Amino acid sequence: MDTAPIAEYVPMIRDLPIDLRPRERLIYAGAGALSTAELLAIILRMGGRGENVIRMAERLLSQFGGLAGLAQASHDELCQVHGVGEAKATQIKAALELGRRLLATAPHERPQVRSPADVANLLMLEMSLLEQEHLRAVLLDTKNVVIRVINVYAGNLNTAVVRVGEVFREAIRANCASIIVVHNHPSGDPTPSPEDVRVTEQLVEAGRLLDIDVLDHLVIGRNRYVSLKERGLGFR
C-alpha cells in the first residue's frame, strides 16, 4: 500500500512558548538580545504556508548573504523570493533605509577600525556561519570610521570571477579613503589560499591606481580569522 510522505511539522509563532516569540522577547529582553533573524521576523510579521516567519527570515538572510546583501538587493529582487511579495519587500527596504539614515546622521555611533580584530569582531559572528564564500568590503573614511559594509560577491573566490571594478564601485561612490576586504571560508579554516593571495595583490594594485588604500584582507573561519596584511601576503 502506498503511503504519502509525512510533511514536516513547522510550528507557527503563535504556537511557540511566549519566551521564544520574537516580539515578546524584544519586550522583556531588549532588542540587543535578539538574533538578526528574529529582528527581521518582527519586521516581516508573518511567514508563509508551511514556513513560520523566523524560518522565512533565516532563508532570506542565507539567500542574500546577510543584512549587507539584503540592503543591496532591489525591491524587485526581493519580490521574486518565494513568500515575500511587495508588502514584505517594502517593509524590509524601509527598515534597512532607516538604519542607513541613522548611521548617516550619527557618525559618532559608527565603529572605528584600529586593528584587524575590530573588523573581525564586526563581521565574524555572521560570516563564519555562511555556507558559501562571500566577499565583502568595509568602506572607511579618512579616520578609519566605517561608512558601510557592502556585499560584493558570493561564490568561490578566484581571480577569474572577482571583478576588481565591483569591489571598488561603491567605494568610489561613497568617496571613501580606504577599504578592508573580508571573505569567509565555509570549511572553518581561515588559512589563506594561493588564490586568496593573488586576489589580494590585484585589489591592492587597483587601489593604488584609484587612490583608495586597501588596508587589509581578512579571511574569516569558524571563530578564527587571518589578516593577510599581518602575514605579509599580497601586500608589498
Q: What is the pLDDT of residue 11?
A: 56
Q: Residue written as cell 529582553?
A: 29
Q: Report which of 208, 207, 202, 229 is spatially closest to residue 218, judged by C-alpha positions.
A: 229
The C-alpha atoms of residue 2 and residue 119 are separated, in whole angstroms, by 56
The DSSP result for 186-210, as a single string, is: TTS--PPPHHHHHHHHHHHHHHHHH
Q: Report which of 73, 94, 64, 100 is spatially closest to residue 174, judged by C-alpha positions.
A: 100
Q: What is the pLDDT of residue 17?
A: 58
Distances (CA, A) of 208 to 140, 145, 177: 16, 20, 11
Q: What is the pLDDT of residue 154?
A: 76
What are the grid coordinates assigned to 107, written together? 557618525
CA atoms within 13 A on the CB side of 7: 6
Residue ranges matching CATH 3.40.140.10 in the chain: 110-231
Task: Give alpha helix (H) positions in 30-155.
Answer: 36-44, 53-64, 67-72, 75-79, 85-105, 116-127
Cα 98 from chain centre = 17
Q: What is the pLDDT of residue 210?
A: 93
Instruction: Report the 10 Å Cβ neighbour count for 8.
Output: 6
Using an 8 Å Cβ cutoff, are 138 and 149 in contact?
yes
Q: Report which of 183, 174, 221 is spatially closest to residue 203, judged by C-alpha positions.
A: 183
Name 134's bridge partners.
154
CATH superfamily assigned to domain 13-105: 5' to 3' exonuclease, C-terminal subdomain (1.10.150.20)
Residue ranges matching CATH 1.10.150.20 in the chain: 13-105
Name 154's bridge partners.
134
Burial of 222 (0-12, 13-18, 19+ CB in 10 A): middle
Assign a CATH topology to domain 110-231.
Answer: Cytidine Deaminase; domain 2 (3.40.140)
What are the grid coordinates assigned to 135, written together? 566577499
CA atoms within 13 A on the CB side of 191: 4
Using an 8 Å Cβ cutoff, are 221 and 185 in contact?
yes
Residuewise pLDDT in 10s, the chain (236 residues): 444 444 454 556 665 655 667 788 888 778 777 788 888 988 888 877 777 888 888 889 888 888 878 888 888 999 998 888 899 999 999 988 887 776 666 555 678 899 999 998 888 877 887 878 889 999 999 999 998 888 887 776 554 456 788 889 889 988 999 999 999 998 889 999 999 999 999 999 999 999 999 999 999 998 789 999 999 999 98
DSSP code for 12: -
